[in-house]
């Protein structure tokens, strides 16, 4: 499968791109600037020379031609980005991983975007695609460190069964990560907001936390 990452030059998008490439996916790093995307792709390939990562680059239009899309732009540019490539997204699964947050002093606070979440705003902006919200609580630095496994649950919510299933299959390819079906897209509001809590814990304890739930039998 070929996966395009819109806004893939940032820490979260490039980290996820590297991790997915390490488990066999073909990745296209996208950006408003094709040159910036190529620089990011070159840096990822150079960092892991022995892994033969299949990472290409181009502008967001090039990335949008892939089979499945990940939206990794800053939250306030998410809807604008998908609208710019709307014609290429009809019928495709788009995974939104953006969180609407701000930092005031030493405190992270969640914001409430239109429609209640970034993912819902993206779905409203391009109704013909199938949005799943996922990967909000996975620390970018650890996600991009291919020499070490990352252990985390990934909460997935969507109004489309196909989008949930496609995201679940993708997460299952990554060792030590577990996909959990968190329901419909309305659940993206608390999921995205909870990221502020994790960042606050990181700041207080000088660490990088990930989410792991107990009480759910394996394979469920």
User: pLDDT tens string for the chain (220 positions)?
Assistant: 999 999 999 999 999 999 999 999 999 999 999 999 999 999 999 999 989 999 999 999 999 999 999 999 999 999 999 999 999 999 999 999 999 999 999 899 999 998 999 999 999 999 999 999 999 999 999 999 999 999 999 999 999 999 999 999 999 999 999 999 999 999 999 999 999 999 999 999 999 999 999 999 876 6
> Quick one: pLDDT at residue 23?
97
The CA distance from 3 to 97, in Å, is 14
* Domain presence at residue 85: yes
DSSP state string for 108-121: EEE---GGGSHHHH
3-class SS of residue 32: coil
| Residue 214 placed within a domain | no
Q: In this predicted structure, what is the pLDDT of residue 218?
A: 78
**Residue 220: its pLDDT value, please?**
62
pTM above 0.85, yes or no: yes
Angle at 171 between CA 213 and CA 146, to 5 degrees: 100
> In sequence order, what are the residues at sequence separation of 6 or more whose Cβ sits closer than 8 angstroms to the Cβ of residue 208?
139, 141, 142, 202
pLDDT score recorded for residue 217: 87
Q: What is the CATH number of the domain that holds 35?
A: 3.40.50.720
- Locate all alpha helices (DSSP H) within the chain, ordered by sequence: 11-22, 34-47, 60-63, 78-84, 118-125, 140-143, 161-172, 188-205
CA dist 42 and 61 (Å) reads 19
- Residues 128, 90: contact at Cβ < 8 Å? yes
Q: Which domain holds residue 131?
A: 2-205
On whether residue 153 sits in a domain, the answer given is yes
| Radius of gyration of the chain measured on its C-alpha atoms | 16
The owner of tokens 């975007």 is 113
Does any domain span residue 87?
A: yes
Is residue 218 assigned to a domain? Answer: no
The domain tally of the chain equals 1
Q: 116: left (phi > 0), else alpha (psi -120 to 50), else beta?
A: left
For residue 215, being part of any structural domain is answered with no
Interatomic CA distance for residues 115 and 122, integer angstroms? 9
Does 210 reside within a domain?
Answer: no
**What was the pLDDT predicted at 117?**
97
Structure tokens at 175: 């060792």
Residue 211 domain-assigned (yes or no): no
């Amino acid at each position: 499968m070929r996966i395009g990452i819109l806004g893939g030059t940032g820490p979260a998008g490039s980290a996820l791109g590297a991790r997915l490439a390490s488990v066999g996916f073909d990745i296209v790093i996208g950006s408003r600037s094709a040159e910036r995307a190529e620089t990011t792709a070159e840096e990822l390939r150079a960092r892991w020379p022995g892994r033969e990562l299949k990472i290409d680059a181009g502008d967001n239009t090039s990335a949008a031609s892939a089979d499945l899309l990940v939206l990794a732009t800053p939250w306030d540019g998410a809807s604008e980005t998908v609208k710019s490539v709307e014609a290429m997204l009809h019928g495709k699964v788009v995974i939104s991983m953006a969180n609407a947050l701000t930092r005031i002093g030493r405190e992270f606070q969640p914001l409430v975007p239109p429609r209640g979440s970034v993912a819902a705003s993206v779905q409203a902006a391009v109704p013909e695609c199938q949005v799943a919200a996922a990967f909000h609580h996975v620390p970018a630095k650890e996600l991009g460190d291919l020499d070490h496994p990352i252990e985390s649950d990934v909460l997935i919510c969507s109004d489309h069964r196909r989008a949930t299933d496609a995201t679940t299959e993708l997460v299952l390819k990554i060792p030590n990560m577990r996909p959990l079906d968190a329901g419909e897209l309305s659940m993206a509001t608390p999921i995205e907001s909870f990221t502020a809590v994790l960042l606050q814990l990181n700041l207080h304890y000088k660490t990088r936390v990930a989410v792991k739930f107990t009480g759910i039998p394996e394979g469920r």
